[in-house]
Amino acid sequence: MNNLKNSLYNLTIIFMAVISFVITAPGTVYSADSYTQEDAKALKSTDPDAVADVLYKLQDIREASGKEGLKPAVADLITATKRELTLPEDERWNLIDLVKILSMTGDERAKPMLLNIMSVMWGGGNPFVAQGFLAIGKSTVKDVADSLKSASPDTRGRAALTLHKMAQFDESGEFFTREDREKVKKLLVENLDDDDVNVRIYTVLSMQSFGDESVIPILENIEKTDAHKDSGGTYEVRIGATETLKHLRGN
């Protein structure tokens, strides 16, 4: 009788070990840890709560699996972002999080959308866009630098701000080559006398990242002569020039 009990016990142990191996075997894919068809359906839906739930999950996937875990979702993230941009501004509840997750993908397919976001979205969009360009790679430098020549003043100003943020977020200090920096500096100098005040403000700011001794005389002139005053009588561009000069001089 004892032998029968022992045999049953041993069989139970073996069965549980087999089950445990099947559950934890390397290479097993769990729907809870990956982007699924159900997630794709929710992300494409018009339900903002459902979209938000998927975005939270994608952030967890990014933390667990890196940007490779986000690749299956890139096309749907782009589609969802396009749809979000068609909504009235006060109903774009998920736009910032969509841009944030899209920027985490480091996927070349995301570049056109991030360039568009750079042009149309102020505030929260720019830090994530800058990080997204860094994640995609050095091919983005030309695209953002070329945006400094855009016919749209909004794009020119936001491109200057984005380049500045890219330089700030670049911990290695090696993302921009010497040639990149010279090209960006040259384009920024051309925009220092832009007719649009916001372009001038953010171009002056970006000079903190791309300026050198050669631009100091230009900034000194701006510090003394820029005519713009805000509604409170503050010379915004002049003040920006003063701060950038302090930065370039190491004050």
- CATH number, domain of 195, equals 1.25.10.10
Give pLDDT, residue 221. Answer: 97
Give me the number of domains the chain comprises: 2
Q: Which domain holds residue 120?
A: 36-136
Give pLDDT, residue 120. Answer: 87
Q: Last residue of a domain, which of 114, 136, 158?
A: 136
The answer to whether residue 13 is domain-embedded is: no
Using DSSP, state whether 28 is helix, strand or coil.
Answer: coil
Do residues 159 and 221 both lie within one domain? yes
Question: What distances in angstroms separate CA 148 from CA 19, 129, 156, 196, 210, one per listed residue?
Answer: 60, 16, 4, 13, 14
Do residues 194 and 89 both lie within one domain? no
Do residues 130 and 223 both lie within one domain? no
Using DSSP, state whether 109 is helix, strand or coil.
Answer: helix
Do residues 150 and 131 both lie within one domain? no
Q: Last residue of a domain, which of 136, 162, 196?
A: 136
pLDDT in tens, the chain (251 residues): 444 444 444 444 444 433 333 333 343 333 448 999 999 999 999 999 999 999 999 999 999 999 999 999 999 999 999 999 999 999 999 999 999 999 999 999 999 999 999 998 865 567 999 999 999 999 999 999 999 999 999 999 999 999 999 999 999 999 999 999 999 999 999 999 999 999 999 999 999 999 999 999 999 999 999 999 998 999 999 999 999 999 999 87
Tell how many helices (H) and how many strands (E) occur in the chain: 13, 0
CB 156 within 8 A of CB 149: yes
The answer to whether residue 4 is domain-embedded is: no
Give pLDDT, residue 16. Answer: 41
Q: Last residue of a domain, which of 136, 161, 194?
A: 136
Do residues 146 and 232 both lie within one domain? yes
Closest CA to 163 of 200, 125, 209: 209
